[in-house]
Structure 1
Amino acid sequence: MAHQNQTRYTFSEVKKVTKRFKDRLGQGGFGSVYKGQFANGVPVAVKMLENSKSDGEEFMNEVATIGRIHHANVVRLLGFCSDGTRRALIYEFMPNGSLEKYIFAHESDIFQELLAPNKMLEIASGIARGIEYLHQGCNQRILHFDIKPHNILLGYSFNPKISDFGLAKLCTRDHSIVTLTAARGTMGYIAPELYYRNFGRISSKSDVYSFGMLVLEMVSGRRNSGPWIENQNEVYIPEWIHEKISTEQELESSREMAQEEKDAVRKLAIVALWCIQWNPKNRPSMPKVLNMLTGTLQSLTMPPKPFVSSPGHPMPQIS
């Protein structure tokens, strides 16, 4: 399979690029990521895929897919290695790490600055543009299935880029319903239809749900733990936010906010609550999400309350 722009590296070249895996940036579900540098000085992130039991064909397929994506809000794949059983993906290096560390690091100044409401709106819109491109802009529709703060990397000016296509699924443009044999994704961000079939069919709306949860975490600074919380004193974030927004209360903020900033937070919350509607049909498509984020607050209507577990509606059991 020819790759127009993908450079293929041998394992010994990968060792050289990473100075023998000296600087480990992190660990994902699919292996470790190391910082590296090309001979011309360009910094890169090298993801070594451990336990890749799948055949080389599937891996090459993924390489070909991501290799074709050129979008400001999707991490660029610069090369790959498939040398015997050793597989690696070489990506552009993202100096500011993942969004996750900013959302849940309340104390730091960078958090206050980065997640000021207007910056939050900018970041959320960037992520939405990236997902919209995956769903609409490529000749094959790409469903990501693992949108969460950990998989959003931040570039030099904190421009957000979607990464980690380990769970992504390709489908043709006209065929947007996917059949999956097992739920994929991360608890707290997985759309209900992925593990509970009566909720609806699996489609690009499953990424919309995950995006909504990510935005709710941004505006609340709290981790969402899903509606089946063992500890009953914990709040179910979507419900808590819905309550605050519908009663015109402010979400807690440690600083004084101008009206424009309050509006930005409110807009983000309302859009996110639409995205996490239980029935996939009631969630907006990604282009619609973008319109809502860039439009006026006045044009948005309050979505119905997110599904809550009540005695009459036992929550799906997740084994």
Structure 2
Amino acid sequence: MISCSRCREKLSISSEMTISFFILLFMVGFKVNIGACQNECSELRCGDFGPPIKFPFRLKDKQPDNYGYPGFDLSCNGSNNTVLELPISVKFIVTHINYKSQVIEVVDPDGCVPRQLHKLNLSASAFQFKGRYQSDYTLFNCSPADRNLYYQIPCLSETSHQILAISSRSSIDEVPISSCTKLYNLPPVPYRIFESEPVSLEWFKPECKHCERKGRKCKLKNNNHTESETECVNVGKQGASTKLVVVGVILGSFVFVVALVSLHRLYTFDRKQTMIEEFLENYRALKPTRYSYADIKRITNTFRDKLGQGTFGTVYKGKLSNEIFVAVKILNNSKGNGEEFINEVGTLGRIHYVNVVRLVGYCADGFRRALVYEFAPNGSLQNFITSADSNNHFLGWEKLQYIALSVAKGIEYLHNGCDQRILHFDIKPHNVLLDETFNPKISDFGLSKLCANDQSAVSLTTARGTMGYIAPEVFSRNFGNVSYKSDVYSFGMLLLEMVGGRKNVQVTEANSSQVYFPEWIYNLLDQGEDIRIHVEQEIDAKIAKKLAIVGLWCIQWYPVDRPSMKGVVQMLEGEENVRMPPNPFSSTASTRDSVAMPAKRPRQELPVISELD
């Protein structure tokens, strides 16, 4: 394998050739374009490293009043920082402007954006917070005795007190604020605004990104600054003969340089590493912390405490401080070609939800890759529903009902609460982690897939997931299209395993005639019999029955017959009895007379697969 230093050396050669190519183009086209740009193409900066300032922005005192668009004025401070002033008297430092996506990144001059939120009024400006998932928050002043790092705003908290940001979505029962003092309410903001990271703002008017993406410039149509209509203009104008000369030189140079660069890349680039680095470059705005491999070794105390082993890597316990523990997953370099890493970082880095495991950071150091998650001290749900020692590990039916409802809300959020619908494709007890209060966290997004919220079906090349939890349509399109209903099926299997998983037995020659467990449960309920599992009180029997019936609704053979996750949440929250679903096993031989405990279907891990689309 080529060393990293050699890779960087080869990359540097290719970069120098590419730069030389663009210098050549500039020299060829300079005489043609000079004088044609004028004001529409001019770019100014505050200092040598400030972001380029061009339409719709205007640099005050250095550009005419009619150059920019109303509300897009910028200025330079004494330190040559670019300053954006927002209502009411809120000033941010601009770190980056993406004209193609119409997003501007800003930071607070004092490093504490939350300090200015109470007086910020974005509704009166041309900007708004980027991202669909935002919540109303209430700020509380709490004593150190109520220390809660999960909700704490670090830059506002001190040793004598801590400031907590509590979302309106949070349950008051889960947040220790009984002895705290309420400060004030905040309008809807993204959660990451409370962390020391750049804040992304976006604008929609004037609409200029289509011009930027075509390599053209944007300006107000007819220079009418009372209207928002814009038009795209070329950078410069030249005669037909000059164009032909320039095009000929460009094409010849382009073909020559591309051929050389392609040969170098063919020889030096590792495809997997290149794909990951390009992804991380585009991912900068979302960024959980990026760690070096040396950081990972320090966090895990040189991989001292192993938590488990999976198909794609090994998980170790680590700590960021004396109070904050994490789980570090070291990915196998030999498995897959980087999709799992990109899926995990690209998916978990975009979302923050109480029932989805939080991605604290990641490592992409050469060929070494790792993922750093919040630590779940109680392990996975699998430990509590399949243990032979049920007296020590059984959580109780009320707790199981709470876990089931929380997992359902987490999946419903993935399906409907994000900018894009997230299909998990591997819902199972192993991938539900339990924190110190047994609050469940959905984890392991290595097989996940993003799709548009209005997309009714997705394309897969072959089945993905874990045997026993994979929906029928994932195997065969005869049952319907693969969609978010595939996660509903997996959740139904998880529910049924929560109901009876502790008593499932292994398949042997002696018990090979036993029936499939979900079908066995359906037959008992259909005949009005009790589920033959451990219950102590009547309310426990009702909970177990509800979980079983909802699970049977979720595993209907055809996706169209299954409820959405929103419907599943409503059934689990409802006080009334849930009616029995149609028999999902009607095409199989009747087993109504069989009362033996069935065996589980065998399960095996499937590899990550590449997508056609």
Q: TM-score, normalised by structure 1?
A: 0.89
Which runs of 5 or more structure 2 residues have no equivalent in the other structure? 1-281, 590-605, 607-613
Which of 37, 44, 50 is the aligned partner of 2:319?
A: 37
Does the CA contact (< 8 Å) of 2:340 and 2:447 recur in 1? no
**1:223 and 1:161, CA in 2 relative to 1: closer, same or farther beyond 3 A?**
farther
1:111 corresponds to 2:370:
no
**1:32 and 1:58, CA in 2 relative to 1: closer, same or farther beyond 3 A?**
closer
Does the CA contact (< 8 Å) of 1:273 and 1:303 recur in 2? yes
Does the CA contact (< 8 Å) of 1:238 and 1:306 recur in 2? no
Runs of 4 or more above 4 Å deviation: 222-225
Give distance in 2, aligned partners of 1:240 and 1:58: 36
Structure number with higher relative contact order (C-alpha < 8 Å, ≥ 6 residues apart): 1
The answer for the alignment partner of 2:353 in structure 1 is 71
Match of 1:68, SS state, is coil
Give distance in 2, aligned partners of 1:293 and 1:266: 11
The answer for the alignment partner of 2:240 in structure 1 is none
The answer for the alignment partner of 2:219 in structure 1 is none
Which protein has the larger Cα radius of gyration, Structure 1 or Structure 2? 2
The answer for the alignment partner of 1:314 in structure 2 is none
Match of 1:142, SS state, is strand
The answer for the alignment partner of 1:305 in structure 2 is 583
Q: Deviations over 1:8-43 (max 9, x none)?
A: 000111011011111110012211111001145410
Does the CA contact (< 8 Å) of 1:267 and 1:297 recur in 2? no
Does the CA contact (< 8 Å) of 2:343 and 2:449 recur in 1? no
Give distance in 1, aligned partners of 2:556 and 2:420: 26
Shift of 1:105: 1.3
**1:272 and 1:61, CA in 2 relative to 1: closer, same or farther beyond 3 A?**
closer
Shift of 1:221: 2.4
Give distance in 1, aligned partners of 2:514 and 2:382: 21
Shift of 1:252: 2.1
- Give the AA of the match of 1:105: S
1:145 corresponds to 2:428:
no
The answer for the alignment partner of 2:370 in structure 1 is 88
- Give the AA of the match of 2:454: D
Match of 2:398, SS state, is helix
1:267 corresponds to 2:549:
no
Match of 1:297, SS state, is coil
Does the CA contact (< 8 Å) of 1:76 and 1:92 recur in 2? yes
Does the CA contact (< 8 Å) of 1:209 and 1:275 recur in 2? yes
Which runs of 5 or more structure 1 residues have no equivalent in the other structure? 312-318
The answer for the alignment partner of 1:159 in structure 2 is 439
Does the CA contact (< 8 Å) of 2:458 and 2:482 recur in 1? yes
Match of 1:272, SS state, is helix
**1:309 and 1:282, CA in 2 relative to 1: closer, same or farther beyond 3 A?**
closer
Identical residues among aligned pairs (%) = 56
Shift of 1:223: 7.5
Match of 2:318, SS state, is strand
Give distance in 2, aligned partners of 1:204 and 1:85: 34
1:242 corresponds to 2:525:
no
Does the CA contact (< 8 Å) of 1:220 and 1:251 recur in 2? no
Q: Deviations over 1:199-255 (max 9, x none)?
A: 110000000000000100111125879xxx996422201111101112222222334
- Give the AA of the match of 2:331: L
Does the CA contact (< 8 Å) of 1:140 and 1:172 recur in 2? yes
The answer for the alignment partner of 2:600 in structure 1 is none
Give distance in 1, aligned partners of 2:321 and 2:442: 26
Does the CA contact (< 8 Å) of 2:340 and 2:446 recur in 1? no
Which of 162, 166, 173 is the aligned partner of 2:453?
A: 173
Give distance in 2, aligned partners of 1:20 and 1:308: 55
- Give the AA of the match of 2:301: K
Shift of 1:108: 3.7
**1:197 and 1:71, CA in 2 relative to 1: closer, same or farther beyond 3 A?**
same
Shift of 1:77: 0.3
Give distance in 1, aligned partners of 2:336 and 2:532: 46
Give distance in 2, aligned partners of 1:83 and 1:230: 52
Give distance in 1, aligned partners of 2:444 and 2:573: 26
Give distance in 1, aligned partners of 2:291 and 2:550: 43
Match of 2:315, SS state, is strand
The answer for the alignment partner of 1:21 in structure 2 is 303
1:278 corresponds to 2:557:
yes
**1:61 and 1:106, CA in 2 relative to 1: closer, same or farther beyond 3 A?**
closer
**1:243 and 1:162, CA in 2 relative to 1: closer, same or farther beyond 3 A?**
same
The answer for the alignment partner of 1:296 in structure 2 is 575
Give distance in 1, aligned partners of 2:488 and 2:357: 19
Give the 5 Å matches for 1:199-278: 199-222=479-502, 232-258=512-538, 260-278=539-557
Which of 33, 42, 54 is the aligned partner of 2:337?
A: 54
**1:185 and 1:230, CA in 2 relative to 1: closer, same or farther beyond 3 A?**
farther
Q: Deviations over 1:149-207 (max 9, x none)?
A: 01100011111110000101111111141110010000100001111120110000000
The answer for the alignment partner of 1:315 in structure 2 is none
- Give the AA of the match of 2:568: V
Match of 2:372, SS state, is strand
Give distance in 2, aligned partners of 1:131 and 1:76: 15
Give distance in 2, aligned partners of 1:171 and 1:128: 20
Does the CA contact (< 8 Å) of 1:263 and 1:297 recur in 2? no
RMSD: 2.3
Give distance in 2, aligned partners of 1:103 and 1:62: 26
Shift of 1:111: 2.7
- Give the AA of the match of 1:199: F
Match of 1:45, SS state, is strand
Give distance in 2, aligned partners of 1:68 and 1:257: 43
Does the CA contact (< 8 Å) of 1:141 and 1:176 recur in 2? no
